[in-house]
A and B are shown apart, each in its own frame.
Chain A
Amino acid sequence: MPETMLRVRNVQKRFGQAFALKDVSFEIRDGEVLGLIGPNGAGKSTLLECMAGQLPMDGGAVLNGDGRPVIAADTLFYVPDGITPWAAQRVSWLLDFFIGYFAGRAELRDSVVEQLELSSFLRQSLGTLSKGQRKRVLVAMGLLAPQPVLMIDEPLDGLDLKQMQELARVLRAHASLGRTLFLSIHQISDAARFCDRFVLLSGGRVCGEGTVKELAEIASARDGARTFATLEEVFLAIA
């Protein structure tokens, strides 16, 4: 079993009196593709923003394998959903800026461009791209970032089936090179395709953590003799 890279412990987040996250705890293992799944409003984006240090937590911590608090900027890079940063700048310049400013993985630039099929619009400004193209550029930025853990909010949003499969293949390839990925995905069937393990979040609480098989066992334990074959069934039973 891979070593534990991060331990998320009892993370809490409130907006006013309402709890967005309550005692959220799970582990992220070295080099895995971990999927964060849950219905709309489960707190997935809030959790990622808290972990990335973009929102203050009301309790809990993100620890490294040794149990020490991590400095988000050194360990995690977070690609938010629904952003169009520097819309007027060309894609090629943005990738260069990203590598230069973040001291990113310059050696991966060409391969990332090729893998994500960005070369046809490298000279276009980001704002002129379609939603799917923009998403691929943002994923490319994340892959070029130097931090060992990459968190992406809805990486598959805006992509067609072929692009989804291609992106899944690229992300898996980067995970196999040692990059740890933590992906928030609201389409359960998509998540099931390429994540190693899952954290199931519902109503701001973790309902389950593990592989499809492990989650199915949790669901079976809760629901008597029923058996669960797919992640969707598990999700509907647990969430």
Chain B
Amino acid sequence: MPSPNVHPFVWLLRKECRELLVSRSWWLLLFLMGPLTGMPYLSALRAYAEMSKQGGTVADAGEVLSPLTGVWAPAFSGCELAGVFLLPFVAIRIIGADRLSGAAKLELQRRSSPVSRIAAKALVALGGWLIAMAPAGCALALWKYYGGLLHWPEVGSLFTGHILNAGLMIAVAAAAASVTEHPSTAAVMTLGVTVGTWIVNFFAALQGGLWERAAAFTPAAVVGDFQRGLFRMDSTLVALVLVLTGLGLASIWQFTGVRRLVNLARSAALIVTAVAAIGGASRVRLDWDVSQNRANSFPLADELALLRIRQPLRIVARLAPEDPRRADLERNAFAKLRRTVPDVEIAYLASTSTGLFEQAAEGYGEIQYDMNGRLLLSRATSVDGVLEAVYAVSGTEAAKNVQEVVFRGRPLVIDPAGGSTIFYVLIPGFTLLCGVLAHRHFTWLPK
């Protein structure tokens, strides 16, 4: 006899958990996660071991031999792939199946908000995803077993990135499953959104400008930041707003007995609110470099000096979006400058996307630094060149007598013995066994 003291939301959670356990798409996701994680992880381990033999512990080897970028990020790359291409189908199954089976017609007759239904489904989908990430956790445990060290802030950053990515995919899938009548349409819509983010990245590379700004918040970019050990508050907040918007849209379209026009009006209001919230969230300048090798920061002495610059610094770089120098400049210098200098504005100028036909044009390739009318022109795109220019235009210099512990890498020469067996045999085999047991448990027939 069911207990009268159990809250209806708990009943919903229980029901969704049971539905997840009988979902073949989820078991298939779990089955594939072992090989998807093992393949990049084991090849990354072998490459890391080879580099460890060569590189020793010299300072320059630090970045190359960072376990975060060398081993852990590849171990989690399977999660990114599964998060984009497999998880949406699981989420669509969780959210859309009720409509097809008619269960939604019964459930929605309870006087409660569809928001709680969607919340329960999203929570269970996220729980299912956390279980699917177990092989990646297993990869970390193996790394530790092989003698490697774990830097928990980096591990936390990786997990956060992939959970945010999963949250985004679940929200998109939830919205698509609620808006459309059939799961196959929802699947096409969800993949359409994913392809849409790739198009944004493509245009960002071609055109720069607003596209570049938008591309910084695509799931791939968000995961990329976390994979480098950079915890950015703006992209985290934007991702959270997008998650809430997706789940909100899903809830709106779950209401029964409401005219389509009313749903459209509510959806439009939600989207307008979300756009405003994203506008605010994207302006938050707060981040943490949690990488062991400070991959996202300047050396400490330079950082302390740059933090002291209080006057506004304006930089204009005449480089086309597809010019490889621009990518290097952005990744190695300007991204760090934005994080460090309190008031900095960086703009790119170019009349073509490739820059091929601008090379001979006057001023192409120049970077202009401007601080209170003091101008400096430079063509250097290296970190040292940029720092030199900033110091010159601001009249400051790197702090002296700063003791900085140089990260010398974590070389580890190992042969990942048993790894293949774990990822290609044990994990899929265990998943298969659990799946069969769960199936038998739910479809047990009396004699």
Residues of A within 8 A of B (CB): 50, 52-56, 71-74, 77-80, 82-90, 93, 96-97, 99-103, 106, 109, 120-121, 123-125, 127-128, 141, 145, 147
Contact = CB atoms under 8 A, between A and B. Distances in A.
A209 B318 CA distance: 82
A86 B19 contact: yes
A68 to B, nearest CB: 16
Interface stretch (B107-115, B283-291, B333-341): B107-115
B11 interface: yes
B19 A83 contact: no
Contacts of B446: 120-121, 123-124
A136 to B, nearest CB: 15
Ranked nearest first, the 3 interchain pairs of A and B with the lowest CB-CB distance are A83-B102, A85-B103, A73-B111
A50 B347 CA distance: 58
Nearest to B15: A97
Interface string B1-27: 111101010011011001100100000
A123 B444 CA distance: 7
Given A83-B101, A85-B103, A128-B445, A56 B111 contact: no
Nearest to B22: A88
Contacts of B442: 88-90, 125
Interface stretch (B73-81, B204-212, B253-261, B398-406): B253-261
Contacts of A86: 15, 19, 101, 103
B106 A141 contact: yes
B105 interface: yes
A54 B105 contact: yes
Contacts of A124: 443-446
Contacts of A82: 102
18 contacts: A56-B258, A72-B109, A72-B257, A78-B105, A88-B19, A90-B442, A90-B444, A96-B1, A100-B11, A101-B12, A101-B110, A106-B4, A124-B446, A125-B443, A127-B443, A128-B443, A141-B106, A147-B109
Contacts of A90: 442, 444
**Most B-side CB within 10 Å, residue of A80, A101, A123:** A101
A108 to B, nearest CB: 11
Contacts of A145: 109
A91 to B, nearest CB: 11
Contact of B103 (A55, A56, A83, A125): A83
A65 B22 CA distance: 45
Nearest to A79: B106
